Each structure stands twice: as C-alpha cells, then as structure tokens.
Amino acid sequence: MAKKFSMILAKTPSNGIGFKGQLPWSLKKELGYFQKMTKGVKDPSKQNAVVMGRLTWESMPDGFKPLKNRLNIVLSSKKLSLNGALHCFSLEDAHRSLNSEEYSNIETSWIIGGARVYEETVRKGLCDRIYMTHIEEDFECDTFVNLDLSKGFKEIVDPVVPQDVQEENGVKYVFKVYEKVE
C-alpha cells in the first residue's frame, strides 16, 4: 500500500496562513517545531521529503532553499529550473515518485504549503496526518486555507508534540495532530 503524506501548517482562527507571500507572524519556536518535525526521522539511514507549491518555494529566502536535510519537491504545472529541488508536475506525480523504489530512503513526506496544495491533498485523500498549529489570534492575511477536518479526521495525541499552550512574543498557539479515520 502506498504511503500517504503528512501535512504541517500553522493557521489563525480565520484560517489565515499567509500575507504577501510570507508568514504573517514571527514565531521562532513555532518555526523550530516545523524544522524538528520535517527533519526528524526514526531511522537514521533515511530522510524526509517536503512537498510544496511553486509560490511556497518562491517565498523562501534564497539562503534557506532548498530546506536542508530534506528532499525538496516543488509542484508546478509548468517546467521549472530549480536549484537543489525536484520538480513534479502534480501532487499525484509527487506521490507516485515518493512511493517508487528510487525514493525508498524517504521516511515521511510532508506537505508544507500552500493553500491549494493543502486543500488538494485532503480532497484527494492523500493525507493520513495533519500537524496543525492553531495560532490563537488573527493576523492580517491574504491567503487562507479551507480544511474541513470534521469528516474523516480525528484529533489524536502524538507523544512528540507538546500538548500545552505555547506563548511567544505575546502570541498564544497550540499544536494539534489529526489522523485520518479509515
């Protein structure tokens, strides 16, 4: 059976995830959580993959891409020339590639944005876990994600994920994990 994706994202109460191509908040510990989760492997002989849309790739500062110690995959329907990342034409293309023998060294494949990629992953049933940071205040956003988790997902406890309310720069947030119910 093919491995499914895990997703990781942070959102406001109004489902905002971005503003002018950037994160609308500056939360270093939350970003550290993202790095820990997307880099962390149980088997040291493996690595993880991060899958993102073209706009997410372009929003990252040049000195930070590709994301280190992870296979970076960028989705775009147009042919791209990427320095240090693999191009796939579609989410299904990336899913097939990551489930091929060529990428058997990949432990977890993470969807890291943007909104359309998150929504498509859930809609097409290609995701089995969602790691969502609920930021408890609204920020000005122009990019929103619409994920209805009430049908098909249940909240679970992952021992790796802190359970208590986090606070940074006066902003409170909570890490939650949702798992697909088969």
The residues annotated as belonging to the active site are 23, 30
Overall size of the chain counted in residues? 182
Distant-in-sequence, close-in-space partners of 64: CB < 8 Å, separation ≥ 6: none
Q: Dig out the tokens for 36 from the structure.
A: 């820990």
Beta carbons of 57 and 75 less than 8 angstroms apart: no
Contact yes or no for 120/94 (Cβ under 8 A): no
Q: How far apart are CA 97 and CA 162, in angstroms?
A: 32
